Amino acid sequence: MKRLQVLFLAALSSTLLLFGCGKEEPRQEVVEPVVEQVIDDIVEPDQTNMEEQNDTEQETDDDTPPEEGMVRSRITNEWVSEEVNNTRPITVMIPNTKTASQYGISRADVLYECNVEGSITRLMALFQDWSGFDRLGNVRSCRDYYVYWSFEWDAFYIHYGGPFYIDEVINRPDTQDIDGMSSSNFWRAKDARNSTDNAYVDTDGIKADINKLGYDLAYRDGYADEQHYKFAPSGEPNTLEQYSDSITAEKVDMSPTYPVTNCYFVYNKETGLYDRYQHLSGDSDGPHIDQANGKQLAFKNILIQNTYFEVRDQKGYLAFQCHDTTRDGWFFTNGRGIHVNWEKKSDYGATRYYDDDGNEIQLNTGKTMVCIVEDGDSFLVDGQKIGSGN
């Protein structure tokens, strides 16, 4: 029997009314981090070279590594060191309100966005190379459905508390999370925009917590041999022009399904990437900027997943069916899009995406945006309304 991993009985709503979101972030100041022990076996890359790396890396026809010891990333297909590729990634819960102060988010290799209560979205950023952060976040609370998306990358899940709905999955023996509420390596920044969205961590703090909690930096047995996304060959990018029913997609507007964030993506022909825009601190929209470096978020691939969901209680807490399901969605890259179907069979199994002929799609080398859409909602592509099943 197929099971709905994150849906709970509606009777829990009465419990929520008594206890609310008691595990949400406290307002007290946290002492500056004291690193008890630092893990030494993560290779720190040259930060200058890292900042200068272009997201649309130059492809080589013979697929020869640009430097000795580099391999294709299983997450982006970009060139990375073997050490980075063999070290487990991190996923970080990041708020997406107008008052959020986001640092380091432009380095995310995969970014998830999904609604939480009140039609506000929350982001989960996946970082394969998480070295060199002196300020990452701000970090916010967990919602249990994000943990299942983190599982499929075998990532360390970083959050700051959460409502009691997370208890079942967070307390599982195989869940390896880092919680800012029980860590001394998070701190509150005084220059953040408010007193809620102001908790941060850095690379040294993450290493210290991993060491303290006894987590292993190496992937679990068998995972490192599994390719998560299927990528087009480096010299033959996927243009989607081989599909007779593909559509042009100069602008992918998610504001109908994310009415508070009002985010949208505009295809940049010069870079071959989709630049992300959303609300600013005022009333107008603008580029989605990483406050750490002033860079606009941009993605080579956009995946949209129509997903079954339920409202858990009167406060609007949500549950999404993360796996044991096959549903539809869309894939956008290089200014075009196609309808797809997605499937996730188990907690640690990768989400797979197939075209309408049943063939697994090929993503292009680079960063990927994953938008989780509530069943029945719609979005716009070049002004045309797209909904579930379209």
Q: How far apart are CA 260 and CA 95, in angstroms?
A: 12
In the predicted model, what is the mean pLDDT of residues 87-109?
95
Q: Measure Cα distances from 64 to 1, 71, 153 in Å.
A: 47, 9, 26
Residue 302 domain-assigned? yes
Residue 360 domain-assigned? yes
Residue 125 domain-assigned? no
Phi, psi (rounded to 5 degrees) for 130: -110, 25
For 156-180, give the DSSP string. Answer: EEEE----GGGHHHHTSTT--EEET
Residue 224 domain-assigned? no
- pLDDT of residue 120 exceeding 60, the answer is yes
The whole-number pLDDT of residue 281 equals 52
Q: Which of 95, 347, 52 is nearest to 223 (CA)?
A: 347
Banded pLDDT at 370 (limits 50, 70, 90): very high
pLDDT in tens, 272-304: 999 999 986 556 689 999 999 999 999 999 999
In the structure encoding, which two tokens stand for residue 234, read together?
């480096």
Residue 127 domain-assigned? no
In the predicted model, what is the mean pLDDT of residues 169-191?
96
The whole-number pLDDT of residue 285 equals 80
pLDDT in tens, 199-208: 999 999 999 9
In the predicted model, what is the mean pLDDT of residues 2-9?
43
Beta-bridged to residue 337, according to DSSP, are: 247, 332
Q: Which of 351, 309, 308, 310 is nearest to 331 (CA)?
A: 351
Phi, psi (rounded to 5 degrees) for 164: -65, -15
Region of poorest pLDDT, from 16-30, 66-80, 245-259, 362-376: 16-30
In the structure encoding, which two tokens stand for residue 108, read together?
């995310």
Q: How far apart are CA 23 and CA 33, in angstroms?
A: 21
The whole-number pLDDT of residue 366 equals 97
- pLDDT of residue 342 exceeding 70, the answer is yes
Q: Measure Cα distances from 21 to 72, 113, 256, 279, 312 in Å.
A: 42, 21, 27, 26, 13
pLDDT in tens, 292-341: 999 999 999 999 999 999 999 999 999 999 998 899 999 999 999 999 99
Beta-bridged to residue 338, according to DSSP, are: 331
Q: How far apart are CA 210 and CA 232, in angstroms?
A: 34
Residue 268 domain-assigned? yes
Q: What CATH number does residue 301 fall under?
A: 3.50.90.10
For 106-161, give the DSSP string. Answer: GG-SEEEEEE-GGG-EEEEEEES--TT-SSEE------HHHHHHHHTTTPEEEE--
Region of poorest pLDDT, from 109-118, 277-286, 311-320, 375-384: 277-286
The whole-number pLDDT of residue 388 equals 62
Region of poorest pLDDT, from 33-37, 131-135, 315-319: 33-37
The whole-number pLDDT of residue 373 equals 97
Banded pLDDT at 194 (limits 50, 70, 90): confident
- DSSP alpha helices (H): ranges in the chain? 12-19, 47-52, 82-85, 144-151, 167-170, 203-213
Over the chain, what is the mean pLDDT? 86
The whole-number pLDDT of residue 223 equals 79
Residue 374 domain-assigned? yes
Report how many domains make up the chain: 1
In the predicted model, what is the mean pLDDT of residues 125-130?
98
- pLDDT of residue 39 exceeding 80, the answer is no
Domain with 342 in it: 247-307+333-387
Residue 162 domain-assigned? no
Q: How much of the chain exceeds pLDDT 90, in percent?
A: 74
Higher per-residue confidence, 157 vs 25: 157
Radius of gyration in angstroms for the set of CA atoms belonging to the chain, rounded to a whole number: 20
Q: How far apart are CA 387 and CA 373, in angstroms?
A: 10
Higher per-residue confidence, 224 vs 44: 224
